[in-house]
Amino acid sequence: MVLFFASTAVVVADERPIKIGQMPKAAISFLNKNFTGIDVLYANVERDILDTDYEVGLVNGTKIDFNGSGEWTEVSNKKSGVSNKLLPQKITTYIEQNYANAQIIKIERSSRKYEVKLTNGLELLFTTDGELIGFDD
């Protein structure tokens, strides 16, 4: 007779509100540089076994996610859009030349790529150097 035992691991994330001053310095600096004069609606920290993430919501509808080091990983605003100043110039130029009538509503950034979602529903994938590598719609 062979017995099998199954075990499941439950990972519980602890999400709680924090004050902006409790965030990593890089996140605070990013907010001060790019969102001066826009009030913070909420700030949360989420901790689990593997990492810590931060989320900030602004009164203008912008949502910003940060990793544990305070580097931004996602910025979104479906109402009024996201500034193209957060992107490398090469990506900004590509979008302006090819999708002049579309607005950026979401930018996701990782160590390898940028994902840029436009109001026309198209999602553009770029390397960190700004080379277009794909589309997702």
The pLDDT averaged over each successive group of 10 residues in the chain (137 residues) is: 50 84 98 96 95 97 98 97 97 97 97 97 97 90
Residue 108, classed as helix, strand or coil, is strand
Report how many helices (DSSP H) and strands (DSSP E) the chain contains, helices first. Answer: 2, 9
- Which pair of structure tokens corresponds to residue 8? 């499941």
| Contact by Cβ (8 Å): 71, 86 | no
CATH code for residues 81-137: 3.40.1420.30
**What kind of architecture, by CATH, is found in domain 12-73?**
3-Layer(aba) Sandwich (3.40)
Domain with CATH 3.40.1420.30 in the chain: 12-73, 81-137
Phi, psi at 77, each rounded to 5°: -160, 100
Distance (Å, rounded) from C-alpha 44 to C-alpha 129? 31
Q: What's the confidence (pLDDT) of residue 11?
A: 52
Give the model's pLDDT for residue 137.
65
